[in-house]
Structure 1
Amino acid sequence: MSILKNKNFLYMFLGRITTNIGDSLYTVAAMWLVYDLGGSTFFTGLAGFLTLFPRLIQFLSGPLLDRISIRKLLLTTQLLQAALLLLIPLAAYAGYLTVGLVLIISPILTTLNMLVYPAQIAALPKLVNNKDLSQANSLFAVAYQGIEIACNALAGVLIVTIGAISIYLLDSVMFMLGALLFSFIRLPKQVATPKTATSIKSTLSTYKRELTEGISILFSNTFSRLLLGVLVINFVGGATFVVLPAFSEQRGGAEIFGFLLMAQAIGSLAGALLAPYLRLENIGIGRVYAIAFLISGTLWATSIFIPTTWLMIVIYGLAWFPGGVTNILINTAIQKGIPKHLLGRVFAASMSVSGIAMPLGSLIGGSTGALLGPTPIIAASGAIVLGVGIFWLIDTTTRSLPNQHDISEETFVKTPSQIRNVSS
């Protein structure tokens, strides 16, 4: 594959794989450890809320990502995560491990990741040509989602064999290796802006202006309805995730939890890998999203009522295939339609908005699950996703969204004067 001959991209890609291994193992281990220590979906819901809460402020990193060295950012975040993960096994060995400590560390780790992922995506146009962006995004999806296939299933096995605490130790090593790989990256130097004596007030004013630009582009009338639906889907996604440990225990234990997450990853990966071959470029993005989540919601809601465990896992995994397809389409659309120097702030805002409802969904889902049980929560979540798909299908604004071939800077910023103002 020619794109892998690009050494900078190769190191970024390998570093992303290594980091995702650590993330995938940690996600499963942390949620199961909280459920094991707390014994209730209330604690998993609280863990989900605290872990996902940094998404609420992720958009604040946008202007920062456009200004600082991405290489230094990647190195620093990987080393900090390695150090934090070591605290859990050390506390366990010393006899001081509590559910509170796990709940404190989780949001800090997530905050660091909130900087890493938009930085990597924003760096892609600096590493590869425009014609290779779709392929690069697909490969990143392999690293981001594909690694979860093996790691989610492996985590379930590791929880049973060596325990969740040992997984934290393994994760620490993986983040150290990720830092080593990122250290080999040599990104093009950013164009330096003339240095002037500016006050703190002036600096904050500039930061606020740049942040507002990123959010205003993202929340243009063109994509506002689509973003509203994504908020709802992420809300129920957070609710489903935090009750999965309890649901898995009812169906068999930690292994089922790992296999459900593995199936979810397989579905997302398959969608991401097949997206470039589905010939969807000539279909409006809104129509693709509507049909995709009509299918997803139906499979999501019905999967958990299937009595055969392996078939239930397969159907649940298929429910995530449409999401893998739409993620590739929207990332490529933003990369084509946003000026390169604004990608950091726009992608940070995009990820923050797409996940802004997940913390609330986790908290409400976990609390409600403690009263009603996990099955009604998952079923209701799937039904809501189906409803979002129906809304997109009948909404004229969403149906009129352009296809990928027709996307340009004018799609997000309507007039040439506005483009010049934002770019200046």
Structure 2
Amino acid sequence: MYDKAVSAWLECIAGEAHWSPLGNYTKYKNGLVYSNLIKAILLVTIPVLHYTIGINVWYVISMLFITALFTQFTYPIESTILPIIVGQDNIIEANSYLQTIREAMDIAFLALAGIIITFVGTIPAISITAICILLVSISYAFFNFDQPSVNKEKSSSIKADSRVYFLDLKAGFNYIKDSLIPKMIFSIIFINIAMVIMTTNLPAFSLMKSNGVEAAYGFYLASMSIGIMIGTIITPRLKQINFGKLIIVAFIGSGIMWMGTATLPLIPSTILFSAGAISIGILNLLIFSAIQKQVETAYIGRVVTLITSAPALGMPLGSLIGGFLGETFTPALAVMICSISMIIFSVYWLSSSVLRKLPKIDSVNLFKDKIEA
């Protein structure tokens, strides 16, 4: 039961919706320190109760879900303070290093987590996680950077706080509505739905490709992480290429390679699956770097919220379509549809003169370029 709860926790952490601009209402350093400290305390209660009075699985699920929510709270803060710490000229390189480390740690620690849970159990694994998060909180306490102004207005009710929150989100939308960002968000929503259609069927697809070997699912997940990591590593070397042409070529390549993933045997299928994921690492890094570089500090959290939460709205639709396709036809069809969607994504960028003609990322002006159909 605990294993299922931990799996649910990982799904929550993997979610794309974030809580900013809640982070705008606290000092960024305090938000990072105290949110991680709270997560550590919440996790510690699980082994403490387990070894004393006993614990219910629903309590475990609740605590893991709450800690996952706090993770979503800190992400926009991290995105906001990165330009402050590294400077505008180093954003792409800094994002590349951070994302590379994240992907590498995902690969290493997911494997390590499996080993720990197998040999020492789930509860000790949660205890180790709590200790690691506590160390993160202590590390953030030593951070030193200029703190942007914080919204210190106080309100008298939860209703008033909620109204202010949604007004802040609306202000973030108004800030970007005449920029290139909405066009990019539309593209990302489309790709996200296609990715969910595929990933919904990925467990069944991996079983089909491997003739029932469950470990194949892990191979596909690892190959995707490796592909994204490669994309983040090479992106700083590609930033001199025109952004529009780079994305068009990269996603056409991904579409073709994922067609091979759908049709070829297991080993070449996983290799092409990894190669196709490289474009995702490139797109994520360049778009977020451009936003961090050009959006005013006060609005970064709000824009990050919009650009990550909007695609998440398409996840239920993607899951529904993916489930229907996998049940009615074959899981390979879902992978093929995702590959075709990558090519359609490229055609959309190719058909838009604004997106097609985007210069190298350092020269892209998200807010002053004339937006044409």
What secondary structure is seen at the aligned counterpart in 2 of 1:187? coil
CA distance in 2, matches of 1:239, 1:168: 31
Partner of 1:271: 231
What does residue range 224-243 of structure 1 map to in structure 2 within 5 Å? 224-243=182-201
CA distance in 2, matches of 1:305, 1:32: 33
- Residue 240 of structure 2 corresponds to residue 281 of structure 1: yes
What secondary structure is seen at the aligned counterpart in 2 of 1:312? helix
What secondary structure is seen at the aligned counterpart in 2 of 1:220? coil
CA distance in 1, matches of 2:303, 2:346: 25
1:352 CA drift (Å) = 1.6
1:275 CA drift (Å) = 0.7
Query: Which of 87, 110, 113 is 1:129 aligned to?
Result: 87
- Residue 35 of structure 2 corresponds to residue 77 of structure 1: yes
CA RMSD of aligned residues (A): 3.8
Query: Which of 271, 294, 297 is 2:255 aligned to?
Result: 297
TM-score of the pair, normalised by structure 2: 0.80
Corresponding letter in the other structure for 1:275: T
Query: Which of 291, 297, 314 is 1:357 aligned to?
Result: 314
What secondary structure is seen at the aligned counterpart in 2 of 1:247? helix
Relative to structure 1, is the Cα distance of residues 153 and 377 closer, same or farther in structure 2, using a 3 angstrom cutoff? farther
Relative to structure 1, is the Cα distance of residues 139 and 248 closer, same or farther in structure 2, using a 3 angstrom cutoff? same
Whether contact under 8 Å (1:51, 1:106) holds in the other structure is: no
Relative to structure 1, is the Cα distance of residues 219 and 191 closer, same or farther in structure 2, using a 3 angstrom cutoff? closer
Corresponding letter in the other structure for 1:113: T
Relative to structure 1, is the Cα distance of residues 107 and 259 closer, same or farther in structure 2, using a 3 angstrom cutoff? same
CA distance in 2, matches of 1:302, 1:227: 28
Further displaced range: 182-191 or 137-146: 182-191
Relative to structure 1, is the Cα distance of residues 315 and 175 closer, same or farther in structure 2, using a 3 angstrom cutoff? same
Aligned length: 365
Corresponding letter in the other structure for 1:390: V
Relative to structure 1, is the Cα distance of residues 127 and 54 closer, same or farther in structure 2, using a 3 angstrom cutoff? closer
Query: Which of 356, 359, 362 is 1:399 aligned to?
Result: 356
Further displaced range: 362-371 or 227-236: 362-371
Further displaced range: 205-214 or 138-147: 205-214
Further displaced range: 332-341 or 371-380: 371-380
- Residue 70 of structure 2 corresponds to residue 112 of structure 1: yes
What secondary structure is seen at the aligned counterpart in 1 of 2:25? coil
Corresponding letter in the other structure for 1:267: G
CA distance in 2, matches of 1:239, 1:126: 37
Relative to structure 1, is the Cα distance of residues 230 and 304 closer, same or farther in structure 2, using a 3 angstrom cutoff? same
Corresponding letter in the other structure for 1:66: N
Corresponding letter in the other structure for 2:353: T
Corresponding letter in the other structure for 2:21: P
Partner of 1:247: 205
Partner of 2:268: 311
TM-score of the pair, normalised by structure 1: 0.72
Whether contact under 8 Å (2:100, 2:229) holds in the other structure is: yes
Whether contact under 8 Å (1:146, 1:266) holds in the other structure is: yes
What does residue range 15-26 of structure 1 map to in structure 2 within 5 Å? none
CA distance in 1, matches of 2:70, 2:249: 34
What secondary structure is seen at the aligned counterpart in 1 of 2:263? coil
1:177 CA drift (Å) = 2.6
Query: Which of 336, 342, 356 is 1:379 aligned to?
Result: 336
Corresponding letter in the other structure for 1:321: I
What secondary structure is seen at the aligned counterpart in 1 of 2:143? coil
Structure 2: segments with no counterpart, 5+ residues:
none
1:115 CA drift (Å) = 1.4
1:271 CA drift (Å) = 0.9
Query: Which of 325, 331, 336 is 2:288 aligned to?
Result: 331
Relative to structure 1, is the Cα distance of residues 53 and 121 closer, same or farther in structure 2, using a 3 angstrom cutoff? closer
Partner of 1:348: 305
Partner of 1:261: 221
What does residue range 42-121 of structure 1 map to in structure 2 within 5 Å? 55=17, 58=18, 61-82=19-40, 97=57, 107-121=65-79
CA distance in 2, matches of 1:68, 1:82: 20
Relative to structure 1, is the Cα distance of residues 373 and 287 closer, same or farther in structure 2, using a 3 angstrom cutoff? same
Relative to structure 1, is the Cα distance of residues 354 and 33 closer, same or farther in structure 2, using a 3 angstrom cutoff? closer
Query: Which of 142, 147, 161 is 2:100 aligned to?
Result: 142
1:129 CA drift (Å) = 1.9
